[in-house]
A and B are shown apart, each in its own frame.
Chain A
Amino acid sequence: MANATDTVAAAPMPRASGRWNQRKIAPWLFLAPGLFMFAVYVLWPIVQSISLSFYDWNGLYNRDGEFTGRFIGLQNYRELGSDPAFEISLWNNLKWLVLYMLALPIGLFLSIFLNQTVRGIRLYKSLFFFPFVISQVVVGLIFAWFYAPNFGLFYLLTEWITGDGTAILADPDLVTYGIIAAGLWPQIAYVMILYLTGLNNVAPDQIEAARLDGAKGWKMLWYVVLPQLRPATFIAVIVTVIGALRSFDLVSIMTSGGPFGSSRVLSFYMYEMALGEIGLRMGYGAAIAVVLFAIMMIFISGFIWKMWRDETQR
């Protein structure tokens, strides 16, 4: 983004040769709309959120349109440090991150399983892909009913097996795992489709050569197929990490963060604090958003660094 200023600087430069100048300017011209949108809808809100996190503000302007917030420095962050609800949300986010990674092996397994040519395989593939197509809200509702005490299938099943039904969403220790299971359902489908397209690009001659050398089963998968699936794995990891960190819809639909806040994640807590009808503490919500952003930044910069390394090494 720092280069954006070059556009301005490049224009009035004394031209060495018209052709050279054109080459230099053209990419920026093409990038300009994207950069503009990125700056206005991504960078500017980030800057605003960070600055808002130093204020105590209830989101209201007064009649004259003046900002009614009060600057309090790092007070919001200090409060986060001793806020038990924030701690629970942070831990839950970690659980999401770790358990969401299960989508990778399961998705890979399913894609290998489905990567065969039998009659009607397209139908099977689309059935497996189905949960990713339906809205997360629908997924949340389906699982909420599945877990529902007294009439949910899961509840009745546990009642039949153990004699005492388990209402996952009412149990503070199990609730987060229940929601993650719901989230994994579409996520596995997503990873599966990524791997399926990846498998299409696996070179058949290498498989053939490996087979001649006597490789099969796990060895074939590990040493021959997986290395060729690296680009797919890379994308799958990215979307899974991001999916885990922005888990909001399922929490909101299935439990609203309950019981007593035990299934909150950072994004939901931020929403509750800043935009929910309770709270309305914009500054505090912004501080949570900044923390979430910082966690995401760890992963995002890792990915960018890896992409940059791959590109320059080529």
Chain B
Amino acid sequence: MVHKKAGALALVAALMLSTSAFAQDKRVVTWNADYDPIPLAAAEALIADFEAANPEIDVQLTNFDHEGYKNAIRNFLTADPPDLANWYAANRMRPFVEAGLFADISDVWANNGLIDALASSVPSSTIDGKQYAIPYTYYQWGIYYNRDAYAAAGVEPPAADATVDWATFLANCEKFKAAGIDCVTTGSVAKWPVAGIFDYLSLRTNGYQFHADLAAGKISWTSPEARAVFAEFAKLQPFVTENHAAIDWQDAAAIFTQGKAAHYVMGNFAVGVFKEGGMTNDNLGFMVFPEITPGIARAEEAPTDTIHLTSGAKNPDDAKLFLAFMASAEAQSKWNAAVGQLPTNKNATVDAADPFLTEGFQALSTATGGIAQFWDRDADAEYASLGMDGFQQFLVQPEELEAILERLEQARLRLFPQ
């Protein structure tokens, strides 16, 4: 949901059944994944490395179309489980863990020192004290800005290391508005982009724990803390691109690259889209979301992609070997360098030539508040969807605040009986 690239064609996916020649005498590990072409090539390179080190094992990757995978996984986990399957951390993996379809791999974590190496991802990989996932990549969210738009509006761009505070940010928004430039753009047809904005407002107003508790249904939507978040949201609302509810996030990226908007609250995967739109490292900038409540430990959003061992795995021992390999610093450095994302292993390296990865790695490794997954991964699926409906409606009809809060509160009481 968070990472929405166009999926590879299903036909192509079906044709790429196996990555290596079939060999009778090798022990086979099967792996179902949903990669786009670039990540797929990176994964195949890793498989080649792994097979070179373990010549008696043959890893067979079956690639699925991105969108189709979400339904396919529900079928193949029961009907014909592979040894390994791609999925997402935190609440997104919970249904499969609770149905007993993902296997406990705490031993892989313990035997390979991963609790320390993958420290930032321990909470999102753990359910009831056991680990069920190997996180191998994540990417930061934050604010991307267009220096050309800054120049056009005559606003001083943020200095390299200094953080912008919220009052300055809003004051700048006024200047952009006067210059006919949208201060913040977004395209919310798919709803999740507004969840990114809300999450940051929530993390900056009340901190990480509030975000986690809100997503878990522990906090009332009519509480003063929740209202405070919407109060900040209301300050930003007039500066967000009009009609965003009918714009795809990629189309909003076009508004941003053309300089008709100055900021875009997005995940790092959008950098590729921005650059396709003609932006370069010279006019594209990244900054962390401004501090709102002074003194709150800065938390960031970094949705994590994971690999899981299925309960029906036919070759769990070799599959665990491969999982340990995917958790290693070398494998993660290589895969993430190819894909342009961040490794979760703290000993891994990041391509120093990519300013966005470097800044993202910096932002995440200094986020003392914690790493949030994203609204729709931290919250239960239905609750997340109702929440995003509310955020989107507020951004269109801020005057409906009371009705929105009331509706969300009703949903909370129904989904999480107190």
Determine whether B119 belongs to the interface, using a CB cutoff of 8 Å to chain A: no
Among B71, B95, B251, B392, the residue within 8 A (CB) of A58 is B95
**A174 vs B96: C-alpha distance when bound (angstroms):** 40
* Residues of B close to A231: CB separation below 8 A: none
- Contact of A260 with B190 in the complex, beta carbons under 8 Å: no
* Residues of A close to B247: CB separation below 8 A: 148-150, 170
**A165 vs B241: C-alpha distance when bound (angstroms):** 13
* Residues of B close to A279: CB separation below 8 A: 381-382, 385
- Contact of A277 with B392 in the complex, beta carbons under 8 Å: no
**A149 vs B188: C-alpha distance when bound (angstroms):** 13
**A168 vs B245: C-alpha distance when bound (angstroms):** 10
Minimal Cβ-Cβ distance residue in B for A259 = B245
- Contact of A275 with B245 in the complex, beta carbons under 8 Å: no
CB distance from A83 to the nearest CB of B (A): 9
- Contact of A79 with B414 in the complex, beta carbons under 8 Å: yes
Count A-side interface residues using an 8 Å CB cutoff.
35
* Binary contact track B352-394/A, C-beta < 8 Å → 1, others 0: 0000000000000000000000001000011011000110110
* Residues of A close to B243: CB separation below 8 A: 149-150, 165, 167, 170
Minimal Cβ-Cβ distance residue in A for B244 = A170
Chain A residues numbered 14-72 whose CB sits less than 8 Å from any CB in chain B: 58-63, 65, 68
- Contact of A172 with B381 in the complex, beta carbons under 8 Å: no
- Contact of A62 with B100 in the complex, beta carbons under 8 Å: yes
* Residues of A close to B311: CB separation below 8 A: 63
**Which applies to chain B's interface (DSSP): helix, strand, loop or mixed?**
helix
Known A-B contacts A62-B100, A84-B407, A260-B390; the reply to A278 vs B385 at CB < 8 A is yes
- Contact of A150 with B255 in the complex, beta carbons under 8 Å: yes
**Which applies to chain A's interface (DSSP): helix, strand, loop or mixed?**
loop
* Binary contact track A200-224/B, C-beta < 8 Å → 1, others 0: 0000000000000000000000000
Minimal Cβ-Cβ distance residue in B for A276 = B385
* Binary contact track B178-198/A, C-beta < 8 Å → 1, others 0: 000000000011110000000
**A12 vs B243: C-alpha distance when bound (angstroms):** 71
- Contact of B385 with A63 in the complex, beta carbons under 8 Å: no
Known A-B contacts A258-B191, A279-B385, A280-B381; the reply to A63 vs B78 at CB < 8 A is yes
- Contact of B101 with A62 in the complex, beta carbons under 8 Å: yes
Count B-side interface residues using an 8 Å CB cutoff.
39
Known A-B contacts A149-B243, A170-B244; the reply to A60 vs B101 at CB < 8 A is yes
Determine whether A89 belongs to the interface, using a CB cutoff of 8 Å to chain B: no
- Contact of A278 with B381 in the complex, beta carbons under 8 Å: yes
- Contact of A277 with B1 in the complex, beta carbons under 8 Å: yes
* Residues of B close to A258: CB separation below 8 A: 188-189, 191, 245, 392
Determine whether B312 belongs to the interface, using a CB cutoff of 8 Å to chain A: yes
**A82 vs B243: C-alpha distance when bound (angstroms):** 30
* Binary contact track A77-97/B, C-beta < 8 Å → 1, others 0: 001001011000000000000
Among A65, A167, A172, A261, the residue within 8 A (CB) of B397 is A172
* Residues of B close to A58: CB separation below 8 A: 95, 99
Listed residue (B1, B245, B410) with the most chain A CB atoms within 10 angstroms of its CB: B245
Among A60, A84, A256, the residue within 8 A (CB) of B190 is A256
Minimal Cβ-Cβ distance residue in A for B380 = A278
* Residues of A close to B393: CB separation below 8 A: 172, 259-260
28 contacts between A and B (CB under 8 A): A58-B99, A60-B77, A60-B96, A61-B99, A62-B99, A62-B101, A63-B101, A68-B99, A84-B407, A85-B389, A147-B246, A148-B246, A150-B247, A167-B243, A167-B246, A169-B246, A170-B242, A170-B247, A172-B397, A258-B191, A259-B188, A259-B246, A259-B393, A260-B245, A275-B71, A279-B382, A280-B95, A280-B381
List chain A positions with a Cβ less than 8 A from chain B: 58-63, 65, 68, 79, 82, 84-85, 147-150, 165, 167-170, 172, 255-256, 258-261, 272, 275, 277-281
Apart from A150-B247, A260-B396, A278-B382: 19 A-B pairs, beta carbons within 8 A: A60-B74, A60-B95, A60-B101, A62-B101, A65-B78, A84-B407, A147-B246, A148-B251, A149-B246, A167-B245, A167-B246, A170-B244, A172-B396, A255-B246, A259-B188, A259-B245, A260-B389, A260-B393, A279-B385
